[in-house]
Structure 1
Amino acid sequence: MSELCPRFEKAMQLISKRWVGLILSELITGNKRFSEMESNLPVSGRLLSDRLKMLEKEGIVERNIYSEFPVRIEYSLSKKGQALKPVIEEIQHWADGWITHEEVKDQKENIK
């Protein structure tokens, strides 16, 4: 049991880092270019780049470079990242059942 807590804590720190959940949700649907994610997510390019680098370092996201002209770079979930798919989907299922529109509205107003 002593090994479970640090591993669980590390997993929660990764998933709960701001914008990571949305980035993972975006990549669950398939490979994406940086510009696609930047336009689909309410996050700055700098922060998106930072989070993608962190997820790549953790082995959750892969950066795929295609030698075309112009060079095409796409991001995808690694095998480790794909293993998070049921977790992310279950969190979405839980949120759909338990988080109200009023709570979302209140959260957005508190961020402003």
Structure 2
Amino acid sequence: MNASHAPDADRSRIAGPPHSDEAEQAFLGGLLLDNSVWPEVSDMVRAEDFYRRDHQVVFEALFSLFQENKPVDLVTASEQLEQMGRMAEAGGMGYLMQLVHDTPTAANTHAYAAIIREYSL
């Protein structure tokens, strides 16, 4: 089976080392939707644990907001990325909105963090 005909679930494992785009996206989207889980996951995941560079950049912006005890949501994250001069590198506002929209549930953010961490080891 070639890459263009692979099932969606396998695409993140075709190019590069094992990783889960879906877990990375759902983790970031989960934090943007409900960041109350941050104290539980803050020690589990680091920026370098993300396979995709755009996800690393978004995480760095969220991490910065958390460190400064600022509110974290779509608006504050986009402002932080703009201030950092890294909005384009993060995929733009459209991608941030997609992260929020495509997150199945913020309730499983801890599980998404565990998946990211497992793949990064």
Q: TM tier, shorter chain? A: 0.3 to 0.5
Which structure carries more strand by proportion? 1
Which structure carries more helix by proportion? 2
TM-score (norm 2): 0.33
